[in-house]
Amino acid sequence: MKDSLIIAAVFLFSLVIMQCGGDSIPESNVIWREDFNSDSLKGWTVVDLAPREKSDWHVYEGYLVHTSNIGGAERLGSHIVAGDAGWRDYTVRSEFVSTDDDYIGILFRYRDPDNYYRFYVSGQNGTIFLEKRVDGRIVELASAEEPLEFCKMSLAAAVRRDRIRVYLNDREYFNIRDNSHPAGKVGLMTCYNEGAYFDNITVSAYHKMREQHETVRPERRCGPYLQNVLGDSATIMWQTNLPSGSVVEYGLEQEPQHRIEAPGLHTVHEVRLHGLMPGTQYFYRVISDTLVSDWYSLRTMPAGTEKFRFALYGDSQNNFIVHKKIAAQMAKHQPDFIVSVGDLAHGGRRADWTTEFFCPMQDILTSVPVYVSVGNHAYGSPHFTEYFDFPESSHETYYSIQVGNAYFIFLDNARTAFLDKKYYTEIKAGSPQYDWLVKELSSPAAQNAEWLFVVAHVPCYSEYSDVEYPENVSSFVPLYERYHVDVVFSGHIHVYERGVAEGVCYIISGGSGGKLDFNKYRDIDEINVTRTGHHFCIVDVEGRKMTLRQYGIDGVLRDSFSIDKSK
C-alpha cells in the first residue's frame, strides 16, 4: 500500500465533508427553500443550451438529479431555474453530489437564458469559475485551480448591490464587484455531467457565510470491509480521515480474545489475520486510536468445499442510490463473497471512492468479502490498489484466487477498449500480463479446478456496445478455448448479456449504478440472452453444477441458466 500518497488528499476530503453541514440560517431569514422531497418540479423551468441534445432533470429519492451528458459550447450545457425575478440582495446555497467529475454549479440573479451569473466547478480539471452571461456572451470574472478530491460539496453566492461573494463548502473563494445583473432568480447547472445530484437549495436574506473553523475530529470514513477471506487468513480494511493506528481485536465471541496491531499511522488501514480455522465464524472490531467500531463477524470457507455462492455485479459508479439498493438486494441472498467486474467509481482519480462504492456497500462488506476487477474508470490511478488488498504485490491489478473447487483469474484489460491510453496496463501478446495469463491458465491449479473463471472488465462480445473489441477476440478468446475456461465475467456495457461460443460462456453484468445502455447495435451468435435495466447476479456452485440467476433492482428474477458437467 502507498498510504502516504493520499494522506493529504483524504485529510482535505474529510475537512470538506465536515464543512458540508452548512451555514446555520435562522428560519425567519429564509425566503425560499427546496429539499426535493416531492417528485414535482412545479415552478422550475428547464433550459437546454446545447443544440440537438436533451436534458433529463428529474427528482429521485430526495435529490434533483441530472444524468444527461448534455454539453455544448462555452460549457453552457443545461440549467434549471426557479424563484422570483425581483429578488435582489440575497444568499443562495445548494448542496450536491457530483459523481461525474465534469461541470456543475449554481446560477443567481438570473434574468433570462442570456443574462445571469454562474458559479461552478469541475473535478476533472480541478477548476473553479465565477462568470456572468450578458446578452448571450460569457465573461469570466474569476477562476482558480484546485484539486477537488470529493464528490459531496456545497456552493453558495451572497449578493448585495454590486458586491458578489461566492463560497465552495462555505469557504469564500471570490469577492468581487459587478453590477451587470441587479436582480433575478436562482438555478442549478450541469455540463457534460451525467452524475449530478442536488439537494437543499435555500435562498435567504443576504448574509455572508460563516467559514467553518472547527477542530477536525477523528472519524472512520468507511469500513471495516473484508478482503481475501481465503484459507486460514483474512484481511480487514477501513479508512479514517486522520492518520491513526490500526488495531483489530477478534475471537470466537464478541470479546477481544486476540489483538493484532499494524505498525505506523495510516488513513487507509489494513490488518491481516492468520491461523483462522476453516468453516468458522469469527467476531471482530477495528480500533484507530480513540475510534472503536462495533463488533462485526466474518466466516471462513469450509475446507475443500465444493458448494458456495457468490454475488456478481459491476459498473456501480455514478448512481450511489441505485448501488445501495442493489447491495441491499444482494445481501438478502447471503452470498459467501462478492465479485465486482469493475468501475467502482466514475472519477477514479479522485480520492473519494466512499460516496459511490464503500458507503452503498457498507452494510454487506463488514461480513462478506469483495474481490474486484479494475475498470477503465480507475484511469490507472493509485487509489484502486490503495483501497483493496491483493495477493500479488508485484502486479496488484491482475491476480488469481482459489475458492473451493473454482479458480478465478482477474484481469486488467481496460487497455483493450482504449488502445491509445497508455495509463492503462498493457495486455497484448508479449506483455508481462499476457505472459502471466498464459502461465495461470496452464497452471495445475487452474487446470485441476472443477471450475475455471475469468473476470475481465471489458467484454469479448456485446450486442449493446457501440464498438467491438477485436483485441479481446483475437488475443484472449483462443486462450479461453484452449485452456477450457468455463465462464468469462465482464462489465463495461451497462446491461446484462450472456451467450456461449465454442464451449466458453460469456456473461456481462454491468448494470449496478452506471448510466444504463438501451441501444442494441448488432445481433451476434455469441450472445443469446439480453436484459436491460439495473441488476445483479447470484451464482451458485455445487460440485459439478453452476447456476446463475439474474435479478432486477426490485429483487425479481429475470433470467437463469445452469451448466451441469455431470450430465
CATH for 229: 2.60.40.10
Name 76's Cβ contacts closer than 8 Å, sequence gap at least 6.
Answer: 49, 50, 138, 191
Whether residue 393 lies inside any domain: the answer is yes
Q: Are 83 and 201 in contact (CB under 8 A)?
A: no
| Strand intervals (E) in 373-490 | 399-403, 406-410, 451-455, 487-490
| Distance from C-alpha of 303 to C-alpha of 250, rounded to nearest angstrom | 21
| Cell numbers representing residue 189 in the block | 447547472
Q: Are 284 and 229 in contact (CB under 8 A)?
A: no
pLDDT on residue 397: 96
Which among 371, 526, 386, 514 has a CA at the least distance from the CA of 453?
Answer: 371
Return the SS3 of 567: coil
Residues 200 and 94 in one domain: yes
Single-letter amino acid code for the residue at 166: V
Domain boundary among 205, 232, 260: 205
pLDDT on residue 4: 37
pLDDT bucket at 212, cuts 50 / 70 / 90:
low
- pTM summary value: 0.93
Domain boundary among 282, 302, 322: 302
Mean pLDDT of 490-509: 98
Residues 201 and 225 in one domain: no
| Cell numbers representing residue 68 in the block | 444527461
Whether residue 10 lies inside any domain: the answer is no
Residues 197 and 236 in one domain: no
Beta strand 487-490 pairing with 504-509: parallel
Q: Give the chain's domain count.
A: 3
Return the SS3 of 191: strand
pLDDT at 284 over 90: yes
Domain boundary among 272, 302, 332: 302
Whether residue 343 lies inside any domain: the answer is yes
| Distance from C-alpha of 20 to C-alpha of 146, rounded to nearest angstrom | 18
What 8-state DSSP symbol labels residue 491?
-
pLDDT at 3 over 60: no
| Distance from C-alpha of 47 to C-alpha of 276, rounded to nearest angstrom | 60
Whether residue 254 lies inside any domain: the answer is yes
3-state helix, strand, coil in the chain (%, to 5): 15, 40, 45
- Rounded to 5 degrees, what are φ and ψ at 195? -145, 60
| Distance from C-alpha of 150 to C-alpha of 20, rounded to nearest angstrom | 11
CATH for 158: 2.60.120.560
Order of strands, edge to edge, in the sheet holding 557-564? 370-372, 337-340, 307-313, 535-542, 545-552, 557-564
Residues 431 and 536 in one domain: yes
CATH for 390: 3.60.21.10
Q: Are 454 and 487 in contact (CB under 8 A)?
A: yes
pLDDT on residue 121: 97
Residues 277 and 409 in one domain: no
pLDDT on residue 567: 83
Range of the domain at 398: 304-564
Whether residue 6 lies inside any domain: the answer is no
Residues 254 and 345 in one domain: no
Residues 473 and 441 in one domain: yes
Lookup result for grid cell 447547472: 189
Beta strand 307-313 pairing with 337-340: parallel
Residues 140 and 257 in one domain: no
| Distance from C-alpha of 317 to C-alpha of 194, rounded to nearest angstrom | 11
Q: Are 84 and 110 in contact (CB under 8 A)?
A: no
pLDDT on residue 23: 55
Residues 43 and 159 in one domain: yes
Beta strand 258-273 pairing with 63-66: unpaired
pLDDT digits (tens, 9 = 90+) for 237-255: 999 999 999 999 999 999 9
Whether residue 77 lies inside any domain: the answer is yes
Single-letter amino acid code for the residue at 478: P
pLDDT at 5 over 50: no
| Distance from C-alpha of 315 to C-alpha of 308, rounded to nearest angstrom | 24
Residues 396 and 517 in one domain: yes
pLDDT digits (tens, 9 = 90+) for 80-129: 999 999 999 999 999 999 999 999 999 999 999 999 999 999 988 899 99
pLDDT on residue 213: 60
Single-letter amino acid code for the residue at 440: E
Residues 369 and 473 in one domain: yes
Residues 129 and 235 in one domain: no
pLDDT at 281 over 80: yes
Whether residue 11 lies inside any domain: the answer is no
Whether residue 280 lies inside any domain: the answer is yes
| Distance from C-alpha of 38 to C-alpha of 529, rounded to nearest angstrom | 38
